[in-house]
Structure 1
Amino acid sequence: MTSLTEKKQYNSFDNEKIKCKELNGQLKELTIEEVINLCGFGKFQWRLSLFAGLAWIADSMEIMILAILGPILICEWNISNFKVALVTTCVFLGFLIGSPVIGICADKFGRKSALLLSASIAFYYGSLTSVAPLFIWLLILRFIVGIGVSGTPQAITYYSEFLPSNSRGRSIMLIQFFFAFGAVFEVVLGFLIIPSAGWRWWIVTSCLPLGIFILITGFLPESPRYDLASGNVIAAKKTLDYIAEVNGIDMPLYKLKSKQTEGRGDVKELFSKQHRISSLLLFCIWFGCGFLYYGISLLATELVKEGQTCISGAKLKTLCECKPLKTEDYLDLMLTTAAELPGLLMMIIVIDKIGRKFSILASFTTSAAALYLLLICMSRYPMVTLLFIARAFISAGFQVVYVYTPEYYPTNCRAVGLGTCSAFARLGALITPFVAQVLLQSSHYLAFGLYATVALIIAGCAIILPVETKGRALENNN
């Protein structure tokens, strides 16, 4: 039997052999993309999927809080629909400010640090919202929560940098199920907690996924792509070896190709000659996605409360009076929110077959058709069906955009690229409450016509994007 001393001698001898081979240039040199592809999609990536999924749950729960809280505040604090829209706008203003800032932090100081910072802000100030004594305090606290939650899209940047190229699209789409689950879960929480314990306890309970997310973050490694881009080759290789070990892959002896990237987190890189056209088109697409997705979430609440699509200006006074959500309203909200699940499932099947650009085109063209049909005055059930279809395809298209963006931008500006694009989505979301909660009262034709037209504009921008990223290595910057 080999003694412990002999084992140490053998390990030492093996290490010396590796060093000698490296000095003699005999070790095979691999790019980080090649190493991650060799590691494959295994146990480590499944664990990471749960982590990224928690971020999505927190983000989607925040959106549904905004959709459900409005009718409650009208009843409890006797405020107008304009003030309800102002609460939503303050949250998205926080998103707008925080998204690029946290993106820059993620490129300069690491993905983990940025995620931990943003989640901590959202958790702390989200919990404080539950004790807000006045409307002005609610506005301030929700604005700061918006800054915190704006960092959750960086979980996609982090997650994508651990994925092999042949499964990246499907994998990112799969974790979008957590987004849909979070939205449905928030409606269920509201249904169970608000009638008995009130909205304040509901808000506290809604912060729990963020708390779990913060605890898990400390146990995860930094992105090896970020480490490599920042010149920390040893840390990058250590992480890659750990991934291979967890996945049960016997890696060949290799040397990691290292190239430190200058100018990390520089917004100007997004407007370089190489990226200018794509960045401008992506900004338009993200703006439209935010305007549509958050708009349909708010529209659903307003419409199920009324039970029909035609809301005339004569009903303005009624809409501003107390009209709490009934059990039927919660059930319809659950149904329209659950529409995201079949939309995502369909996109998972086709995204790697028809590509990212055509997936976005098909999604938003279909959603535009459903929204145009909602211009017709109709009763509750056909209305809920069309809302279901519109939300399914809007959500599916938005998630494909989330796949495309980190695939397009190179490592040195991936986080700031996603963060800046996310800021444009939040800008669209900042405007949309005044359409879904204010303009809708005056003219449902203008409101739905505007949403349907924006969907068509997104489809047009997607088809003229210069680059299709299907099967493209993350290291490819051309």
Structure 2
Amino acid sequence: MTDCMRTQLVSAIHLQEVELQDKPADKPADKPQNNSNGSNNNVDEKFTVEQAVEKIGFGRFHILLFVIMGSANIVEAMEIMLLAVVSPEIRCEWRLEDWQVALVSTMVFVGFMVCGVVAGYIADRYGRWKVVFGGYVWSAYFSLLTSFAPTYGWFIFLRSMVGCGVAGVSQGFVLKTEFIPAKYRAYLLPLGTIFWMTGSILIILLGMLVVPTMGWRWMIRLSITPSIILIFLFKFIPESARYNVSAGKVDAAVKTLQKIARMNRASLPPGRLAEPILKERGSWRILLSPSYRRTSLLLWYTWFVASFAYYGSVLSSSELLEKNLLCVINADKEHQVKHRHESGLCYCIPFANSDYQTLLISSLGEVALVPLNIVLLNVFGRKISLVVLQLLTAVMFMMVNICTTMFGFTVLLFLLRSLVSMNFNVVYIYTAEVYPTVARSLGMGFCTSFSRIGGMIAPFIAQVLMSQSVIQALTPFAVACVICALGNFLLPIETRGRALLQTS
């Protein structure tokens, strides 16, 4: 072996030793680098509230949410149906004309209309939870005071204050919607009708059992029980995480989402919650911006008609039964007593047990077609559902005038209540889905305020015009529904399966 070969061999051995020494040193250096990259990925990875809600999915929290927030519908339904049940009693006690009875319902909706916008603005600016809780307390307090009203004037003033409180309670629909994953909204939100029906049945049962023995004042006092119970249960419902992130309260939103995830035995997406702070919250300009102008205008009229038709059906049924204006083939003696005579008005025609039973059966109609409502929402979407339901409602209003048996009238009333209730369900869902978080409560507030205009007009048609002509009283409801159905073809946005937007 020559010196040259020996030198090359030594150099090769030395180079191999150097490489062996470098590799162990490189590996530890590589590992921290990889870990560092991994941690950086975790830090840089972000998720939104929408992604968190979808990742958590449906679970025990949503059952609790459904029960407690759904019970808000019980409060609202009892306060509204109370008007139909108490009308014959106050007419008799204070010798009220038709327009004075109608004014009671109108004043409730005046309070609702004025406070609806205010409640929506406060909910977008300062949180949904505060508004809903305040609504429970406010409506329960003034409803209790109503039972002590010494005069008709005090009665309508206090009922308008109750309407103001119910406007706050109605914001619970927004709070509930913001926690429900997109694919479950079309199933869970229509099922809330069960609670509305429960409220209607409770007030009718109270009227049947309490009014004949203890009077209408005790009926009102007992009717605030659900509100008092909900005041204590509401502490289990957190503030909306969507509102918290829009207001910059990210830590509060994370705690809420973590709590929900634990209850549902799920986990949050990897990374950190990060969404921009939205300073323009609760601004009416968003509702009339180019993106939402047509939607808002059409929705305002749709809500007007939804309320106009719903309360028209409720008050019409009550008025037809109280004044015995039905074209009934087999009328019994109780339904032969008329409100108007040549000698003057008959003020005291109390509900018979059969009248309460008819109202009960018609109230059951509000949930009878919920499966059909769910199918329409999931198969045809929100827009087509609105069109179909409004056209069918128009037809049903005209059919109520058909001369039939008492059983036939009950069936027609049952179907009418089903349709107007389904229509209200769809418009509630569509409104909560179409507006962004920064204006969702305000959008709902404006819509409910326009709906109360319909509620204010409905009593003067259903309770005043009805005495003159049944067909003339029912026709405006049918025409309004047809026009609304045509208008809903022009809604620019379909929200079926769409994520809730944070901003426009």
The TM tier, using the shorter chain, reads: over 0.9
Deviation, structure 1 residue 226:
0.2
Q: Is the 8 A contact 1:375 1:449 kept in 2?
A: no
Q: Is the 8 A contact 2:47 2:269 kept in 1?
A: no
Paired position in structure 2 for 1:266: 283
Q: Does 1:420 align with 2:446?
A: yes
Distance 1:468 1:315, change over 3 A: farther
RMSD: 2.1
Distance 1:307 1:382, change over 3 A: farther
Paired position in structure 2 for 1:104: 121
| Amino-acid identity (%) | 36
Deviation, structure 1 residue 384:
2.1
Q: Is the 8 A contact 2:197 2:364 kept in 1?
A: yes
Paired position in structure 2 for 1:439: 465
Q: Is the 8 A contact 1:308 1:380 kept in 2?
A: no
Which moves more between the two structures, 386-395 or 455-464?
455-464
What one-letter code is carried by the residue in structure 1 that aligns with 2:420?
A: I
83, 88, 96: which one aligns with 2:100: 83
Paired position in structure 2 for 1:297: 314
What one-letter code is carried by the residue in structure 2 that aligns with 1:382?
A: G
371, 374, 387: which one aligns with 1:348: 374
Cα separation, 2, equivalents of 1:19 and 1:249: 27
Deviation, structure 1 residue 353:
1.4
Q: Does 1:452 align with 2:469?
A: no
Q: Is the 8 A contact 1:224 1:240 kept in 2?
A: yes
5+ long unaligned stretches in structure 2:
1-34, 329-337
Cα separation, 2, equivalents of 1:264 and 1:316: 60
Q: Is the 8 A contact 1:295 1:433 kept in 2?
A: yes
Paired position in structure 2 for 1:70: 87
Which moves more between the two structures, 284-293 or 210-219?
210-219
222, 246, 249: which one aligns with 2:263: 246
The CA deviation string for residues 272-311 of structure 1, in whole angstroms up to 9 with x for no partner, is 1111000000000000111110111101111123455359
What one-letter code is carried by the residue in structure 2 that aligns with 1:293?
A: Y
Cα separation, 2, equivalents of 1:46 and 1:316: 58
Q: Does 1:282 align with 2:299?
A: yes
Paired position in structure 2 for 1:10: none
Which moves more between the two structures, 341-350 or 186-195?
341-350
Cα separation, 1, equivalents of 2:36 and 2:314: 58
Distance 1:186 1:318, change over 3 A: farther
Q: Does 1:367 align with 2:393?
A: yes
Distance 1:57 1:19, change over 3 A: farther
Across the two proteins, how many residue pairs are aligned to each other?
A: 461
Q: Is the 8 A contact 1:90 1:143 kept in 2?
A: yes
5+ long unaligned stretches in structure 1:
1-17
Q: Is the 8 A contact 1:108 1:264 kept in 2?
A: yes
SS in structure 2 of the partner of residue 470 of structure 1: coil
What one-letter code is carried by the residue in structure 2 that aligns with 1:422?
A: T
The CA deviation string for residues 299-339 of structure 1, in whole angstroms up to 9 with x for no partner, is 11111234553599966977652100000000001011111
Q: Does 1:142 align with 2:159?
A: yes
Cα separation, 1, equivalents of 2:65 and 2:43: 34
Q: Is the 8 A contact 1:308 1:383 kept in 2?
A: no
Query: What TM-score do the two structures reach when normalised by structure 2?
Result: 0.87
Deviation, structure 1 residue 233:
0.9
The CA deviation string for residues 379-434 of structure 1, in whole angstroms up to 9 with x for no partner, is 43322221211111111011110000010000000000001100011110011100
Paired position in structure 1 for 2:25: none
Cα separation, 2, equivalents of 1:243 and 1:400: 27
SS in structure 1 of the partner of residue 272 of structure 2: strand
Cα separation, 1, equivalents of 2:355 and 2:304: 29
Cα separation, 2, equivalents of 1:254 and 1:78: 68
Q: Does 1:467 align with 2:484?
A: no
Cα separation, 2, equivalents of 1:109 and 1:297: 35
Q: Is the 8 A contact 2:363 2:417 kept in 1?
A: yes
SS in structure 1 of the partner of residue 168 of structure 2: coil
Q: Is the 8 A contact 2:238 2:256 kept in 1?
A: yes
Which moves more between the two structures, 277-286 or 109-118?
109-118
Cα separation, 1, equivalents of 2:361 and 2:96: 28
Deviation, structure 1 residue 376:
3.3
Deviation, structure 1 residue 251:
3.6
Cα separation, 2, equivalents of 1:363 and 1:89: 25
Q: Matches of residues 18-33 of structure 1 in structure 2 within 5 Å?
A: 26=43, 28-33=45-50
Paired position in structure 1 for 2:21: none
Q: Is the 8 A contact 2:193 2:366 kept in 1?
A: no
SS in structure 1 of the partner of residue 71 of structure 2: helix
SS in structure 2 of the partner of residue 339 of structure 1: helix
SS in structure 2 of the partner of residue 359 of structure 1: helix
Q: Does 1:165 align with 2:191?
A: no
